[in-house]
Amino acid sequence: MTNITANDIWSALRAIREKAPVVHSITNYVVMNSTANALLALGASPVMAHAEEEMEEMVGIASALVINIGTLSPAWVRAMFMAAEAARKRKIPIVLDPVGAGATTYRTRTARELIRAVPPQIIRGNASEIMALLETNTKTKGVDSTASSDAAVAIGRKLHAESGAAVCISGETDYTIGRAGVIRGRNGHIMMTRVTGLGCTASALCGAFAAVVSDPAVAAAEAMAVMGIAGEIAFAKSTGPGSLQLHFIDALYRLSADDIGRMVKIETEP
């Protein structure tokens, strides 16, 4: 794997701003608004729909599909399977965010079944969630991560091997495991964990990047870098998580080649 440069990230961001890819999200109620705003600020075109009656047509106008299991119910799970199947037929990238996998059997089972039925191109979660997709003995406290990141990388490699998906494990360091190795990103700020749904936003941004970047692992790592850089810019202007959220959206909108070049912390290894 060649290194991901600041210029690569900037090129991808410019492509999103120029093409405004439609990202179809089937996501949880908590984050729909903030996710749509982040995608718009980035330059993408969000759509959200969950009815089986329109799933195939809606996927039909999308350039990427993001499935987030944060507030599941049976009707939504059926829509997720329909959407994933429609995305596979159209060969558009699928991102899966297994929110809360490990916290309940229903979530863990649904996420695993989705992966088996239609392997996504990218799976993004915190370490506990990613571990839960393979291990049965991991405890998750709510939707926060409790596993060490080092342990998670090993699991990420295993999940990548099993599923074929690029596996992105977010935390203080973001690890993205793809065909060619591990990409480590060190952007971001701890206060971002005090804003609800920034993990979900990260998954949505993975979808936008996957719409314009062919390698899923590269797309995911670039999305995480943009998240983290925007978060750092926002933190510097913030007095708490409320203002961080606002400045994060503005930073996504204004992010420049210079910001990326100056701030990005990303490295790859085989």
- Interface contacts to a copy of itself, rule CB under 8 A: 22, 28-34, 36-37, 40-41, 45-51, 53-54, 57-58, 61, 70-75, 100, 103-107, 140-144, 193-197, 238-243, 245-254
Using a CB cutoff of 8 Å and minimum separation of 24, what contacts does 5-9 make? 6/257, 6/260, 6/261, 6/264, 7/257, 7/261, 8/218, 8/222, 9/222, 9/225, 9/226, 9/260, 9/264
CB of 22 to a copy of itself, least distance (A): 5
Nearest approach in angstroms of CB 61 to a copy of itself is 6
Question: Is the Cβ–Cβ distance between 176 and 220 less than 8 Å?
Answer: yes
Pairwise CA distance, residues 166 & 55, whole Å:
25
CA-based nearest residue to 185, from 226, 129, 231: 226
Taking the complex as a whole, the smallest distance from the CB of residue 215 to a copy of itself amounts, in Å, to 25
Kindly state the smallest distance separating residue 31's Cβ from a copy of itself, in Å: 7
To the nearest whole angstrom, how small is the minimum distance from the Cβ of residue 3 to a copy of itself? Answer: 30
| Nearer CB in complex with a copy of itself: 88/253 | 253
Nearer to a copy of itself (CB atom), residue 148 or residue 243:
243
Q: C-beta of 33: minimal distance to a copy of itself in Å?
A: 5
For residues 118 and 163, give the distance between their C-alpha atoms in angstroms, rounded to a whole number.
10
> Which of 131, 183 has the CB closer to a copy of itself?
131
Whole-number minimum distance, CB 27 to a copy of itself, in Å?
Answer: 9
Q: How far is CA 169 from the centre of its chain?
A: 9
Nearer to a copy of itself, 4 or 31 (CB): 31
Residues 6+ apart with CB under 8 A from 12: 209, 212, 213, 219, 222
Name which of 14 and 179 has its Cβ closer to a copy of itself. Answer: 14
Amino acid identity for residue 108 in this structure:
T
